[in-house]
């Protein structure tokens, strides 16, 4: 059946025009709702309304609210860790500058965007929903530990870093970045003094890499 002039003047529904983009756009809407309401209070109806779709459409792609939250984490955070991993795999030469670069690049993304709200949300909901914390630990933190562990092991082999327990060093890398993200979203809004997360993370990267290199020099015969 041919379209009338009135039909042609009316744009097709957003979801019909961009069917391939539905999951990504629904996850963006879900992220906003989770940040606003928290995991417990957020409803699929709220997410559907924010995304401009029906509740049934949500369930075509995501079987539950938890599955949607996990997909939000994957889309928002895992892809960025994969970028850092690809950077490491292409890298040649000393790894201390690479470690500093990745901290300085990825850290502010976590601390200054909605990624910080995700980390805070996981911590807040961990008591009632340990499976969420377990998922975040496995999909995000474990991936980060694996990446930084590989970088550190290569630095030890090359004499750039001291031979310290890798699981300890990876937590020294990740911990201050997470604390900076939580500080920005929790304490900075009520603090009378300005908070500069980029400066904190940059200083952390400098002190950590310089300290590790200094220790490696001390241990050389």
Full-model pTM: 0.82
Dump pLDDT digits (tens) for 81-132. Answer: 899 999 999 999 999 999 999 999 999 988 888 888 888 889 988 999 999 9
Dump pLDDT digits (tens) for 179-217. Answer: 999 899 889 999 999 999 999 999 999 999 999 999 999
Q: 114 and 79, same structural domain?
A: yes
Q: 156 and 115, same structural domain?
A: yes
CA–CA separation, 106 vs 14, rounded Å? 33
Q: 127 and 43, same structural domain?
A: no
pLDDT recorded at residue 31: 93
CA–CA separation, 124 vs 34, rounded Å? 12
Q: 99 and 55, same structural domain?
A: no
Q: Give the tokens for residue 21.
A: 């983009």
Angle between helices 44-51 and 65-73 (to 10 degrees): 60
Q: 116 and 214, same structural domain?
A: yes
Average pLDDT over every residue of 29-53: 94
CA–CA separation, 154 vs 160, rounded Å? 9
**3-state secondary structure (DSSP) of residue 164:** coil
pLDDT recorded at residue 1: 47
Q: Could you list the residue range(s) of the whole structural domain that residue 88 is in?
A: 70-219
- Higher pLDDT, residue 115 or 177: 177
CATH number of the domain that residue 54 is part of: 1.10.10.60
Q: 109 and 164, same structural domain?
A: yes
Q: 215 and 128, same structural domain?
A: yes
Residue 18 has pLDDT above 90, yes or no: no
CATH number of the domain that residue 79 is part of: 1.10.357.10
pLDDT band at 151, cuts 50/70/90? very high
pLDDT recorded at residue 217: 94
pLDDT band at 15, cuts 50/70/90? very low
Q: 103 and 32, same structural domain?
A: no
* Residue after which a domain boundary falls, among 62, 82, 102: 62
pLDDT recorded at residue 21: 61
Q: 203 and 138, same structural domain?
A: yes
Q: 120 and 206, same structural domain?
A: yes
Q: Give the tokens for residue 108.
A: 């502010």
- Percent above pLDDT 70 for the chain: 90
**Count of structural domains, the chain:** 2
* Residue after which a domain boundary falls, among 34, 62, 90: 62
Q: 75 and 97, same structural domain?
A: yes
Q: 101 and 1, same structural domain?
A: no
- Higher pLDDT, residue 13 or 184: 184
Average pLDDT over every residue of 1-24: 53
């Amino acid at each position: 059946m041919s379209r009338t002039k009135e039909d042609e003047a009316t744009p097709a529904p957003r979801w019909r025009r961009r069917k391939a983009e539905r999951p990504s756009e629904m996850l963006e809407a879900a992220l906003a709702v989770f940040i606003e309401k928290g995991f417990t209070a957020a409803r699929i109806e709220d997410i559907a309304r924010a995304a401009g779709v029906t509740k049934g459409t949500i369930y075509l792609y995501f079987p539950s609210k938890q599955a949607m939250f996990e997909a939000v984490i994957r889309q928002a955070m895992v892809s960025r860790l994969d970028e850092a991993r690809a950077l490491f795999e292409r890298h040649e030469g000393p790894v201390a500058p690479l470690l500093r670069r990745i901290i300085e690049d990825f850290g502010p993304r976590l601390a200054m965007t909605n990624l910080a709200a995700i980390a805070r949300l996981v911590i807040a909901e961990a008591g009632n929903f340990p499976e969420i914390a377990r998922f975040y630990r496995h999909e995000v933190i474990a991936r980060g530990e694996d990446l930084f562990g590989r970088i550190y092991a290569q630095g030890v082999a090359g004499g750039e870093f001291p031979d310290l327990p890798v699981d300890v060093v990876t937590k020294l890398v990740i911990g201050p970045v997470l604390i900076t993200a939580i500080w920005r979203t929790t304490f900075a809004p009520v603090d009378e003094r300005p908070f500069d997360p980029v400066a904190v993370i940059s200083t952390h990267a400098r002190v950590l890499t310089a300290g590790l290199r200094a220790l490696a020099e001390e241990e050389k015969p």
